């Protein structure tokens, strides 16, 4: 069960006095390097996909690889959308396989930030997905020189924000900056201590690249359970490419191998400094696996001709795919004409939480109850946990439900 519930993952770190590293994935080479480092260090890890860097890679194209790497990893992994711009970004990221989302409305006014974050929490909670919010402003962008003024998180606003939004983790601004820094940042330790004592929820630091090891360790003693880290990895990769090329490396494969080696070594170093190395087994034992659920419906529609049946399927696919937590909607008809049920819907949910929220969603009510049920004579439906491809485990509360892989579905 290597892909695990992100809230469980970070809560374990918070309760046990270490931080999980959230490393920016920008390519297949970075993905391989980060997972390899976590496996070597036996550490839980977060694969972070930052919306602020989407011009560097194709998010939709990379996500299937990210999910596959997480599922086959031998250590607990979570996948997070970082610096999500809005509600639509969060819905899209969950559809593509993220099981944690960060909404970054930290540049907005307090009230706008609360309102926008609360909307994301409401949607994500219905999908079982954990949410990180940010309050106060950490300036700069990963990989660039800092721009914009830092705004500190205040204790009073932090309390109000967490109460009103219900976020699972809070990213705080206490002096860190994203990107390249000339000097180590000056951190407001007293502020962090007060916020941690008052809130008692896992706190997050962005701008991890600028920190010294001593600063990171002290941050962790004051409630930081997740550290975001990006610029240093990009710099190390670039430096290594230049050095290898200068030393005579010519092929693309040789340069990529250098990138993987350098990024992996730096990630492993961080995992050891932040105390997550060696924790994989206990985290795995205490976190629920993150399993998709397949909502399977088989049915007959004897009164519909072929054209109307296809139109109904297409309309359902279009409408149901818009419901948050629905990852994919597949329709089909039997290959074997003697089958009892002639048509099917396979609707993939991000998690078991979507079973309820899907049923309550107005789009499903209007389509299934009015259009679909009106045309369908005979139907059978059930929700199935999708078995982990490697271990076959499906240990959600739905354990009484049959386990299958999508290949096993037949009507
Ligand atoms: P750095 O690029 O400064 O490490 O910050 C990364 C980050 O916070 C991504 O959200």
> 180 lies in a domain?
yes
Of 120-134, 295-309, 373-387, the range with the highest mean pLDDT is: 120-134
CA of 81 to the centre of ligand 1 (A): 13
Kindly tell me if the per-residue pLDDT of 392 is higher than 70.
no
Model pLDDT, residue 398: 38
Q: Find the helix packing angle between 155-165 and 110-125, rounded to 10°.
A: 30
Q: What is the pTM of this model?
A: 0.93
How confident is the model over 180-191, as a mean pLDDT?
Answer: 91
Q: Which range among 24-38, 375-389, 392-406 shows the weakest confidence by mean pLDDT?
A: 392-406
Tell me the average pLDDT across 197-211: 97
Residues 303-361 pLDDT 10s: 999 999 999 999 999 999 999 999 999 999 998 888 899 999 999 999 999 999 999 99
- Whether residues 260 and 154 share a domain: the answer is yes
For 159, the domain range is 6-286
Mean pLDDT for 42-47 is 98
Q: What phi and psi, each to the nearest 5 degrees, are found at residue 213?
A: -60, -40
Q: Answer whether 215 contacts ligand 1 (Cβ < 6 A).
A: no
Residue with tokens 């099981």: 99
pLDDT of residue 399: 37
Is 82 tagged catalytic? yes
Q: Answer yes or no: is 402 within a domain.
A: no
Residues 305 and 177 in one domain: no
Q: Please tell me the predicted confidence (pLDDT) of residue 390.
A: 56
Ligand 1 atom, smallest distance to 82 CA: 10
Asked if residue 87 and residue 71 are part of one domain, the reply reads yes
What is the model's pLDDT at position 336? 84
Between 372 and 51, the higher pLDDT residue: 51
Q: Whose CA is closest to 35, among 3, 82, 61?
A: 3
Q: Which of 24, 58, 82, 168 is catalytic?
A: 82
**CB count in 10 Å sphere of residue 79:** 25
148 and 63 share one domain: yes
- pLDDT-based confidence at residue 142 (cuts at 50, 70, 90): confident
Is the CB of residue 176 below 6 angstroms from any atom belonging to ligand 1? no
Q: Do residues 79 and 228 both lie within one domain?
A: yes
Q: What's the CA-to-centroid distance between 26 and ligand 1, angstroms?
A: 13
Q: Is the pLDDT of residue 247 over 80?
A: yes
- Looking at the fold, whether 193 and 304 belong to one and the same domain comes out as no
Q: How confident is the model at residue 1 (pLDDT cuts 50, 70, 90)?
A: low
Cβ–ligand 1 distance for 146 under 6 Å, the answer no
pLDDT recorded at residue 345: 93
Domain membership of residue 83 (yes or no) is: yes
Residue 334 in domain: yes
pLDDT at 386 over 50: yes
Judgement on whether residues 111 and 179 belong to the same structural domain of the protein: yes
Same domain, 274 and 307: no
The whole-chain average pLDDT of the chain stands at 92
- Chain Cα centroid distance, residue 98: 3
Do 319 and 205 lie in a common domain? Answer: no
Q: Kindly report which listed range (128-132, 181-185, 277-281, 303-307) carries the lowest average pLDDT score.
A: 181-185
Predicted local distance difference test score (pLDDT) of residue 322:
96
Q: Is the CB of 142 under 6 A from ligand 1?
A: yes
Answer yes or no: is the C-beta of 136 below 6 A from any ligand 1 atom.
no
User: Is 256 among the domain residues?
Assistant: yes
Q: What is the mean pLDDT of residues 207-229?
A: 97
Mean pLDDT, residues 22-28 taken together: 98
- Asked, for residue 166, whether it belongs to a domain, the answer is yes
Q: Are residues 265 and 298 in the same domain?
A: no
Based on the fold, state whether residues 267 and 370 are members of the same structural domain: no
383-407: average pLDDT: 52
Residue 21 has pLDDT above 90, yes or no: yes
Looking at the structure, do residues 145 and 90 belong to the same domain, yes or no? yes
Q: Which atom of ligand 1 is nearest to the CA of 231?
A: 2
Ligand 1 centroid from CA 287, angstroms: 26
Other residues' Cβ atoms within 10 Å of the Cβ of residue 205: 28
- CATH code, domain with 46: 3.20.20.70
**Is 80 exceeded by the pLDDT of residue 181?**
yes
Whether residue 66 lies inside any domain: the answer is yes
Q: Is the CB of 351 under 6 A from ligand 1?
A: no
Domain count, the chain: 2
pLDDT cut 90: percent of the chain above it: 83
Query: Could you tell me which residue, 185 or 390, shows the higher pLDDT?
Result: 185
Residue 112 has pLDDT above 80, yes or no: yes
Residue 61 domain flag? yes
- The CATH number of the domain holding residue 305 is 3.30.70.100
């Amino acid at each position: 069960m290597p892909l695990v519930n992100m809230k469980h993952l970070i809560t374990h770190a918070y309760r046990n006095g270490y931080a999980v590293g959230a490393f920016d994935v920008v390519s297949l080479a970075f993905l391989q390097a980060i997972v390899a480092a976590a496996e070597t260090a036996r550490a839980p890890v977060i694969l972070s996909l930052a919306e602020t860097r989407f011009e560097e890679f194709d998010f939709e194209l990379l996500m299937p690889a990210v999910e596959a790497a997480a599922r086959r990893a031998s250590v607990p992994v979570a996948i997070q959308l970082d610096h999500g711009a809005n509600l639509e970004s969060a819905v899209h990221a969950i559809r593509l396989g993220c099981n944690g989302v960060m909404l970054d409305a930290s540049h907005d006014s307090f009230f706008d930030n609360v309102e926008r974050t609360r909307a994301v929490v409401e949607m994500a909670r219905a999908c079982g997905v954990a949410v990180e919010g940010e309050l106060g402003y950490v300036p700069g962008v990963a990989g660039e020189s800092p721009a914009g003024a830092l705004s500190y998180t205040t204790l009073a606003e932090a309390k109000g924000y967490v109460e009103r939004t219900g976020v699972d983790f809070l990213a705080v601004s206490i002096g860190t900056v994203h990107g390249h820094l000339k000097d180590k940042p000056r951190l407001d330790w007293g502020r962090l201590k007060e916020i941690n004592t008052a809130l008692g929820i896992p706190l997050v630091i962005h701008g991890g690249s600028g920190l010294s090891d001593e600063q990171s360790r002290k941050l962790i003693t004051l409630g930081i359970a997740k550290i975001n880290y990006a610029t240093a990895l990009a710099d190390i990769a670039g430096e290594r490419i230049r050095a290898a090329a200068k030393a005579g490396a010519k092929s693309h494969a040789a340069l990529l191998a250098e990138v993987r080696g350098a990024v992996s070594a730096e990630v492993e170093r961080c995992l050891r400094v932040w105390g997550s190395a060696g924790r994989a087994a206990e985290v795995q034992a205490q976190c629920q696996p993150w399993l998709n659920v397949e909502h399977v419906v088989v049915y007959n529609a004897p009164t519909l001709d072929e054209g109307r049946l296809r139109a109904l399927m297409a309309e359902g696919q279009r409408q149901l795919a818009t419901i948050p937590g629905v990852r994919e909607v597949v329709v089909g008809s039997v290959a074997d004409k003697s089958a009892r049920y002639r048509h099917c819907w396979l609707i993939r949910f991000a998690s078991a939480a979507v079973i309820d929220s899907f049923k309550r969603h107005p789009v499903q009510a209007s389509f299934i109850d009015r259009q679909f049920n009106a045309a369908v004579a005979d139907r059978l439906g059930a929700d199935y946990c999708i078995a982990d491809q490697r271990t076959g485990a499906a240990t959600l509360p739905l354990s009484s439900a049959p386990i299958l892989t999508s290949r096993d579905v037949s009507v």
